[in-house]
Amino acid sequence: MQASNNIIRKAQIGDEFAIYEMICELALFEKALNEVINTPEALKIHLFDDHICDALVVEFENKIIGFALYYTSYSTWRGKCLYLEDFYVKPNFRGSGIGSLLFDEIVLIARTTGVKRMDWQVLDWNEAAIEFYKYKKATLDPEWINGRLYF
Amino acid sequence: MQASNNIIRKAQIGDEFAIYEMICELALFEKALNEVINTPEALKIHLFDDHICDALVVEFENKIIGFALYYTSYSTWRGKCLYLEDFYVKPNFRGSGIGSLLFDEIVLIARTTGVKRMDWQVLDWNEAAIEFYKYKKATLDPEWINGRLYF
């Protein structure tokens, strides 16, 4: 597979099933599958009705093999930001450069919409991802702890 | 000062100056004042025109002495969430319980709006804040690294 054989496009109605499957694959890798209480039906509403978030998908031979889900966030220091919540390419499709193209597409959206910063998080033991983000010249800051309350 | 002498209310036009001052105070404490490129004018637009974020302020004797700034975020695992971006009470006004009341007010907003999780971040060396969040029965997870690109 060559990266050029893939199509990167905005998610559309019907894609929520493939995206949801990949959300679960990524959560499993991140040892947090038990935390997933979202559903494809709710995801459809969030993406296409309420527009709380947006997503790009990667298509290869009519199958969705990767996605990036993001939303507008806010920094009191910087102003409007873009938060990249999930970024994933199925394991069998890595190594062709498609992940890099997908990431660059999100950066382009961030630049085009005029946000001041693009944020995401990576697990401290996910070395492959950390190397990838270093290659993308990202700042990686381990000094912050995530605080959470669940409802 | 007793906590009961304070008023906690939604931020309104004109409060952006006091909020901005406290954003800078907090950024200074967090050793990141150089990262603040926001302005009171931009903050006013974000809060009251574009509604990218919301804020509560604490008033004591007609002066604003604390604030909490938050926005709607999204988790692919949980769905709609509330992100508490800044939470601050001026040093001289701590110890009366007003910070606790302000935090509880944000939790109430999170519950009322039906979000599935409330998130924030705390610096790993900010022991007083960490103790406060433990007292609030928050989950504190240091396993995630912040990735960032600046524009």
Q: What CATH code is carried by the domain that includes residue B84?
A: 3.40.630.30
**Is B52 within 8 Å of A72 when comparing Cβ atoms?**
yes
Strand-pair category, B139-141 with B79-89: unpaired
Q: Structural domain of residue A102, as residue ranges?
A: 3-135
Under 8 Å between Cβ of A122 and A28: no
Furthest C-alpha separation in chain B? 44
Q: Which residues in chain A are contacts of B111 at CB distance < 8 A?
A: 151
Structural domain includes residue B146 = no
**Is residue A150 a part of any domain in this protein?**
no
Instruction: Please answer yes or no on whether B123 and A143 come within 8 Å at the CB atom.
Output: yes
Identity of the residue in B74, B85, B145 whose CB atom sits nearest the CB atom of A74: B85
Nearest C-alpha neighbor of B44 from the set A113, A79, A71:
A79
Query: Tokens for A148?
Result: 């959470």
Per-residue pLDDT at A122: 98
Percent of chain B exceeding pLDDT 70 equals 97
Is the residue at B149 inside a domain? no
Is residue A145 a part of any domain in this protein?
Answer: no
Q: Is B117 inside any structural domain?
A: yes
B56 confidence band (pLDDT: 50, 70, 90):
very high
B140 beta partners: A147
Q: For A15-41, what is each residue's pLDDT tens digit?
A: 999 999 999 999 999 999 999 999 999
Nearest-CA distance from A56 to chain B in Å?
14
Contact A145 B125 (CB under 8 A): no
Contact B106, B83 (CB under 8 A): no
What DSSP string describes A71-123?
Answer: EEEEETTTEEEEEEEEEEE-GGGTTSSHHHHHHHHHHHHHHHTT-SEEEEEEE
Specify if B148 maps to a domain. Answer: no
Number of domains into which chain A is organized: 1
Averaged over B95-100, what is the pLDDT?
Answer: 94
Here the tokens at position A64 are 């969705």
Q: How confident is the model at residue B3 (pLDDT cuts 50, 70, 90)?
A: low
- B18 pLDDT above the threshold of 90: yes
Q: Which residue from B47, B95, B41 is spatially nearest to B69, judged by alpha carbons?
A: B47
In chain A the first and final C-alpha atoms are separated, in Å, by 43
Interface of A with B in 14-53 (CB under 8 A): 23, 26-27, 32, 35-38, 42-43, 46, 50, 52-53
Residue B86 has pLDDT above 90, yes or no: yes
- Cβ neighbours for A75, distance < 8 A, ≥ 6 positions apart: A81, A116, A117, A119, B38, B85
Catalytic residue among A74, A83, A88, A133: A133
Kindly compute the dihedral angle of the four CA atoms of residues B29, B32, B34, B38, in this order, to the nearest 10 degrees.
-90
Of the candidates A54, A149, A143, the one whose C-alpha atom is nearest the C-alpha of residue B148 is: A143
- Residue B63's pLDDT band, with cuts at 50, 70 and 90, is very high
Sign of CA dihedral A10, A68, A80, B9: positive
Residue B73, in any domain of the structure: yes
Cβ burial of B41 (10 Å; 0-12, 13-18, 19+) is exposed
The helix or strand, by DSSP H or E, that contains position B8, with its residue range, turns out to be strand B7-10
pLDDT for the residue numbered A16: 98
Tokens 């669940």, residue located = A150
Which contiguous run of DSSP H or E holds residue B119?
A: strand B117-123
pLDDT in tens, B130-148: 999 999 999 999 999 999 9
CB contact (8 A) between residue A147 and residue B137:
no
Taking 70 as the pLDDT cut, the residues of chain A under it are 1-4
In a domain, B151, yes or no: no
**pLDDT given at position A5:** 80
- Interchain contact B72–A (C-beta under 8 A): yes
Nearest-angstrom CA–CA distance, B113 and A47: 18
CB B149 to CB A117 under 8 A?
A: yes
Counting every residue written for chain B, the total comes to 151
CA atoms within a 13 Å half-sphere pointing along the CA-CB vector of B5: 10
- Assess B112–A contact: CB distance below 8 Å, yes or no: no
Confidence of residue B122 (pLDDT cuts 50, 70, 90): very high
